[in-house]
Amino acid sequence: MLSAFDNFPALLIWLPLIGGIVTFMLKQGERAKAWSMLSSILTLVVAGTSLLFTGSEHFALTQVSYVWLPLLGSSFTLSLDGISWILCLLNAISFPLIFAASSRGSYRRPNVFYGLMLIAQAGLMGVFMALDALTIYFFWELALIQVYFLASMWGGEKRIQAAFKFFIYTFVGSLLLLVGILYVYLKTPDQSFALASFYRAELTVGEQGWLFWMFFIAFAIKMPVFPFHTWQPDAYEQSATPVTMVLSGIMVKMGVFALMRWLLPVFPDVIADYDNIIIGFSVIGVVYASLMAMRQDDLKRLVAYSSIAHIGLMCAAIFSLQQDAWHGALVQMFSHGINIIGMWIVIELIERQLGVRKISELGGIAQKAPTLTIFLVIIALANVALPLTNAFVGEFLMFSGLFKFNSWYAAVAGIGIILSAVYTLNMIKHVFYGNTNILTETMRDIGKDQRIVLSVIVVLIFMVGIYPEPMFRLVENTSDIILNRIQTK
Q: Note the residues at the interface with another protein (CB under 8 A).
A: 69-72, 137-138, 141-142, 145, 149, 152-153, 159-160, 164, 167-168, 171-172, 175-176, 178-179, 182-183, 185-186
Q: What is the identity of the amino acid at 419?
A: L
Nearest of 118, 107, 120, 105 to residue 153 by alpha carbon:
107
SS3 263: helix
DSSP designation for 260: I
Question: What's the distance, CA 256 to chain centroid?
Answer: 8
CA 311 to chain CA mean position, Å:
9
Asked if residues 120 and 143 have their Cβ atoms less than 8 Å apart, the reply is: yes
Between 81 and 132, CB nearer to another protein: 132
Phi, psi of 341 (to 5 degrees): -65, -40
Shortest gap between Cβ of 360 and another protein (angstroms)?
Answer: 30
The CB-of-128 to another protein minimum distance in angstroms stands at 17
First to last CA, the chain: 37
Shortest distance, CB of residue 224 to another protein, whole angstroms? Answer: 17
Q: How far is CA 16 from CA 81, 258, 420, 478, in A?
A: 20, 22, 36, 26
Task: Tell the smallest beta-carbon distance from residue 173 to another protein (Å).
Answer: 9
Cβ distance to another protein smaller for residue 160 or 422: 160
Comparing CB distances to another protein, the nearer of 152 and 290 is 152
Enumerate the H helices of 154-230 as residue ranges: 159-187, 195-199, 205-222
CB of 303 to another protein, least distance (A): 25
Closest to another protein by CB, 121 or 373: 121
Of 133, 64, 128, 62, whose CA–CA distance to 91 is shortest?
128
- For CA atoms 155, 157, 158, 161, give the dihedral sign: positive
Q: Give the helix/strand (H/E) hosting 280.
A: helix 271-294
What distance in Å separates the CA atoms of residue 417 and residue 312, rounded to the nearest whole number?
11
Q: What single DSSP character describes residue 225? A: P
Instruction: Give least dist CB 142 to another protein, A.
Output: 7
CB of 172 to another protein, least distance (A): 5
Is the Cβ of residue 182 or residue 428 nearer to another protein in the bound state? 182
Sign of CA dihedral 455, 458, 460, 466: negative
Min dist CB 160 to another protein, Å, is 5
Residue (125 or 142) nearer to another protein, CB: 142
Q: Considering beta carbons, is residue 83 or 142 the nearer one to another protein?
A: 142
Give dist(CA 88, CA 124) in Å, integer. Answer: 8
Instruction: Write down the least CB distance from residue 267 to another protein, Å.
Output: 17
**For residues 216 and 305, which CB has a smaller minimum distance to another protein in the complex?**
216
Rounded Cα gap, residues 387 and 391, in angstroms: 8
Q: Which is nearer to another protein, 142 or 247 (CB)?
A: 142
